[in-house]
Amino acid sequence: MPDLSSFGEEAVVARLTTLLEAGPGILIGPGDDCAVVEGGGRGEVELLKTDCLVGGVHFLEEAAPGKVGWKAIARTLSDFAAMGGWPRHLLVTLALPGSCEMRWVEQLYRGMNKCARAFDCSIVGGETSSVPAGAPSMISVAGTGTAKRSQVVLRSGGRPGDVLFVTGRLGGSLRGRHLTFTPRLVEANWLVRNCPLHAMMDLSDGLARDLPRLASTSGCGFLLEKDSVPRSRGITVEEALCDGEDYELLLAVPARSAKRLESAWRKQFPRLPLSLIGSLTAEGESDLSGGWDHFAG
């Protein structure tokens, strides 16, 4: 029987989601940054998201627990940003070895609470469990949020001719930024109110893996201007494409809106770059090598 590594992450997810049946009230199911369901106030929908950190995969044992806690929350909040929404309530599940020091757990929670407070959402409960000796720690964060129905942005809305932008700079996250990044909630909230976005997602697995996902989901190919990809200091183009854990926003907008968006962005966020890196096409590239795959053989 083939194991997960013989499939790869994309194929594993695709096979599992075919086993699910949509019930009433589900607007967007598996496949985007958040699920979208009926709810919220008038003119609003509810967003649902869960994400996890695993020791040895998403953080190292020597990492400061407060920063690990910040990252655990910020990863989930980044997905709300990618949908044009805002988080509200969070649930945290901890699965830890009994040998874990209480002080470590308390500092972890301080980091989580600091991130939640920074973005006006609350940790309202959760669960704890032990894991066998030698097993890695796991922190899972599930959350609810809201978005205006008219402003929800999907990965699948891109169209041939759209231009592609990315916020911030990419690459080098393992130097420490993957534990301290700021989820782009404020920027995404501004974007949905000021720009006709066709598609958007956050960059967690590297542009080389996430750009083909957005293009494929939109039924498009893409052209990438690699020399235009914004890089962190001392980072090569290849590292900017493949390192992952950037948590910046990748967005597709109508070409006619590009210049106006660039001008307005510079005035609103003068310290955060917004870089035009390519376009969606009817034909063109459909894949890039590199990026992160949890089940790659």
CATH number, position 76: 3.30.1330.10
Q: 1-6: which pairs have CB atoms within 8 A and are 24 or more residues apart?
A: 4/295, 5/295, 5/296, 5/297, 6/297
Joined together, the tokens standing for residue 33 give 């940054």
Domain ends where: 117, 151, 185? 151
Does residue 183 share a domain with residue 115? no
219 φ/ψ sector (left φ>0, alpha ψ -120 to 50, else beta):
left
Neighbours of 48 (CB within 10 A): 17
| Nearest Cα to Cα of residue 212 among 10, 4, 49 | 10
Rounded CA separation 80/47 (Å): 7
Domain assignment present for 287? no
Sheet holding 249-253, edge to edge: 199-202, 249-253, 163-167, 274-281, 221-224
Domain final residue pick, 131, 151, 171: 151
What is d(CA 252, CA 243) in angstroms, rounded to the nearest whole number? 22
pTM, two decimal places: 0.93
Of the three residues 151, 185, 218, the one that is the final residue of a domain is 151
d(CA 209, CA 49): 20
pLDDT at site 115: 98
The per-residue pLDDT for 270 is: 97
In a domain, 83, yes or no: yes
Domain span at residue 48 reads 21-151
Residue 31 and residue 122 in one domain: yes
DSSP assignment string, 51-86: EEEEBTTTB-TTS-HHHHHHHHHHHHHHHHHHTT-E
28-79 pLDDT, tens digit per residue, is 988 899 999 998 778 999 999 999 999 888 989 889 999 999 999 999 999 9
Given this model, what pLDDT does residue 11 score? 75
Q: What is the dihedral of CA 249, 82, 282, 260, to 10 degrees?
A: -60
Q: What's 274's domain CATH number?
A: 3.90.650.10
Residue 84 and residue 107 in one domain: yes
- What pLDDT does 219 receive? 95
Mean pLDDT by 10 residues, the chain (297 residues): 73 76 86 90 93 91 95 98 98 95 97 98 96 93 97 97 98 93 98 97 96 96 96 96 96 98 98 98 76 56
User: What is the tally of structural domains in the chain?
Assistant: 2
Taken in order 253, 74, 269, 278, the sign of the CA dihedral is negative
Q: Does residue 209 lie in a domain region?
A: yes
Please tell me whether residues 66 and 118 are part of one structural domain.
Answer: yes
What local confidence, expressed as pLDDT, does residue 9 receive?
Answer: 72
Q: Where do runs of H (alpha helix) occur along 45-174?
A: 65-82, 102-118
